[in-house]
Amino acid sequence: MKKLFITSAILAILVSCNNKESDKQAVSETKTENAISNEKIVSLNGAITETLADLGYENNLVGVDVTSTYPTSVKQKAKDLGHVRSLSIESLLALKPTKVFATDKDITPEQISQLENAGISVEIIKQDYSIDGTKNLIKSVATTLNNTNYESLDNKIDSDLKNLKSISTKPKVLFIYARGAGNLMVAGKNTPMEKIISIAGGENAITEFDDFKPLTPEAVVKSNPDYILMFDSGLQSIGGVDGVLKIEGIASTNAGKNKKIIAMDGQLVSGFGPRVGEAAIQLNELLQK
């Protein structure tokens, strides 16, 4: 009888301890949920916006930049603040955010000071256009919000990249940025486009210069790409494939002769956000057609 009493007492203590732990966990989860619900976030970078949405903060977004096109529902919930180069701090402040996320390429030190002087937390995230860089961006955004549920995003990237197929002879790819036939730029070295082309199994056709430069017929002919890569919107702005073939120099290239013109969603292929694996797979498949 005495043993039974002691056993019952121990069980009672264990149950009590478990209940207390459960209560603590419930309180902790409630605090986290409250913290999330109270945040009002502005994101000035498409990759950061995608990351925030994937981490469960889409409903906390009150303002986004022009590159924040995914998920598409974001623009229905948050104010479009336009391009960061013409960002109106007054319009941003009017949204009364508690946090502003951006990369060091998206916002100036003066703008950061203005926001911080208004009592807003500004989170500057480093963006490196690589797979590891994307994972670091995801981790930085998550840890800033005390969120530890980001590993699934990394795992999705790794899982996607396993589906890449090796291309025996790397095709040369020329990326053309277009905003109408009168505004054409090509991507050189150390650009997001060079990086994603390389990950997908191709090689950038331009090796003579860094960054983006205006397209010239001489550079196009000299690079002699096997494929022309463009954003969907860019291809549309110059009248589709026929418009590309009318660009001086293109018809003389392998890409022009074989009509190898690829168009992809701009944010997907250049954003280096959580969908970078998807972008690489899609481009990899298109470079084999």
- Residues 209-259 have pLDDT tens digits of 999 999 999 999 999 999 999 999 999 999 999 999 999 999 999 999 999
Dihedral-angle region of residue 240 (phi above 0 means left; psi in -120 to 50 means alpha; beta otherwise): left
196: left (phi over 0), alpha (psi -120 to 50) or beta: alpha
pLDDT the model gives residue 158: 98
The closest of 96, 105, 101 to 144, measured between CA atoms, is 101
- In angstroms, rounded to a whole number, what is the distance separating the alpha carbons of residues 166 and 137? 27
Do 241 and 261 touch, CB atoms closer than 8 A?
yes
Per-residue pLDDT at 24: 40
- Distance CA(219)–CA(74), nearest Å, equals 39
CA 246, chain centre distance (Å): 32
Average pLDDT over residues 40-47: 98
**Number of residues that make up the chain:** 289
The two structure tokens encoding residue 1: 């009888």
Give the number of other CB atoms < 10 A from CB of residue 156.
Answer: 16
pLDDT of residue 28: 36
Confidence of residue 104 (pLDDT cuts 50, 70, 90): confident
Could you tell me which residues come within 8 angstroms of residue 88 by beta carbon, excluding any fewer than 6 positions away? 81, 82
pLDDT at 8: 44
d(CA 125, CA 135): 12
Other Cβ atoms less than 10 A from the Cβ of 48: the count is 28
C-alpha distances in angstroms, 254 versus 36, 91, 225, 260? Answer: 52, 48, 6, 8
DSSP 224: -
C-alpha dihedral sign at 277, 282, 287, 289 = positive
Confidence of residue 38 (pLDDT cuts 50, 70, 90): confident
**Distance, CA of 264 to CA of 282 (rounded, Å):** 9
Look at residue 37 in the predicted model and tell me its pLDDT.
67
Whether 231 contacts 283, CB under 8 Å:
no
C-alpha count within 13 angstroms, C-beta hemisphere, residue 44: 27
Tell whether the torsion through CA atoms of 89, 92, 93 and 99 is positive or negative.
Answer: negative
**How do strand 212-214 and strand 184-187 relate by DSSP bridges?**
antiparallel
Q: Is pLDDT above 60 for 78?
A: yes
Report the DSSP beta bridge partners of residue 186.
Answer: 176, 213
Alpha carbons 283 and 142: distance in angstroms, whole number: 28
Nearest to 65 by CA among 119, 111, 113: 111
Alpha-carbon distance of 182 to 159, in angstroms, equals 41
**pLDDT tens figures, 155-211:** 999 999 999 999 999 999 999 999 999 999 999 999 999 999 999 999 999 999 999
pLDDT of amino acid 286: 98
Band (36; pLDDT cuts 50, 70, 90): low
